[in-house]
Amino acid sequence: MSVDSKAALFVMLGQAASKVIGRLDEVVPSDSLYLSASYDLASLVPNTVRESTKAAEAYRLFFVFENYLRELIVDVLSAGSEGSWWDCVPSDVQVEVLKLEEMEQIKGWMALGSRDKSALLTLPQLLKVIDTNWKGMFDDVVRDKGLIQEARLIVHLRNTICHMTAISDEELSRVRQTMRDWFRVVAP
């Protein structure tokens, strides 16, 4: 065996060992999570920090998708209606959002800042707004109503992530596929 082959084997074994060791619950992950400049949660709860890093990717995907849908809805409804975009939101959704607004006013001590009503719409509500206003508003933009149903199938995964539970790689792939389908059709 040549020196180069031995060196390559040594590096490969080292990488494999690092991956195995990095998955052990008691080993501090390489990603830090600081509460302050000197207090790293990674050394206190390494497995939970490791899981949070994995869950963060799914959270980021949902963050982008929901905000994309909010902007799309406000833009389409503002351009296609004579009143405010809010006037096109189903009344049951309006009632739910107004309750959330009241709750945020009660929680005024939190530094949330002023938020538009669209920021309070949940993913199922966003999809309902698109579905309710399909004809003449979203049919030309989204073009495939099946995308609404596809997005509804990942709502549970969104709730799982937002309630601090990681999802499997298979389900993360489902989220990515749904988003790819939306972005291919709606924003090619």
Quick check: 57 and 172 in contact, CB under 8 A?
yes
Average pLDDT over residues 108-118: 77
Q: Which residue has the higher pLDDT, 148 or 5?
A: 148
* pLDDT grade for 13, boundaries at 50, 70 and 90: confident
pLDDT at position 27: 65
Query: CB-side exposure of 64: number of CA atoms within 13 Å?
Result: 12
How many residues are given for the chain? 188
* Tokens describing residue 133: 């206003």
Lowest mean pLDDT among 101-105, 120-124, 165-169, 176-180: 101-105
Average pLDDT over residues 163-167: 93
Label residues 147-174 b or e (16+ Cβ within 10 Å = b): bbebbeebeebbebbeeeebbeeebbeb
Average pLDDT over residues 79-83: 86
Contacts of residues 5-8 at CB distance under 8 Å and 24 or more positions apart, as own/partner, are none
Rounded to 5°, the CA angle 117-176-58 comes to: 65
Q: What is the mean pLDDT of the chain?
A: 89
* pLDDT grade for 78, boundaries at 50, 70 and 90: very high
Distances (CA, A) of 135 to 89, 92, 124, 187: 14, 19, 19, 19
**Residue in the structure block whose two tokens are 């509460």:** 35
